[in-house]
Amino acid sequence: MNDTILHDERIAKMTFASVYPHYVTKVEKKGRTIDELHKVIQWLTGFDQKALQKLIDEKATFEQFFQEATLNQNAHLITGVICGYRIEEIKNPLTQKTRYLDKLVDELAKGRKMDKILRTI
């Protein structure tokens, strides 16, 4: 088993609830709001705040999280490097979706304009 398979399995089993506080901290440290974070998450997944809280309370894994999500049709426009991986080259669909979310949170924290983050034209 190679490192990529282990990495993909680790992401699949990680809970959204364990990562969400880090997203909040990251964006708030950079002067962004939880509402903006929720807007970004909702754009990608379709989850409103109530649905997010349910997934957090249930300690849903990223595998469960993205099984329930309705991925935005423009998610494929999310490109670039995050955590050392070029998003558009990631082969595992779940890992790619998770990195989409990481990239959006990163862009929010870096002060990118919301219309650019949400890939509106």
Encoded tokens for 119:
């890939």
Domain 3-117 has CATH 1.10.8.290: yes
Model pTM score: 0.92
Q: Label residue 1 by pLDDT band (50, 70, 90).
A: very low
Closest by CA to 77, choosing from 121, 119, 120, is 119
Domain range summary for the chain, segments of one domain joined by +: 3-117
The rounded distance, in Å, linking the Cα atoms of 21 and 120 is 27
Closest by CA to 17, choosing from 48, 49, 46, 54, is 54
* Digit-coded pLDDT (tens) for 12-51: 999 999 999 999 999 999 999 999 999 999 999 999 999 9
Residue with tokens 């999310």: 78
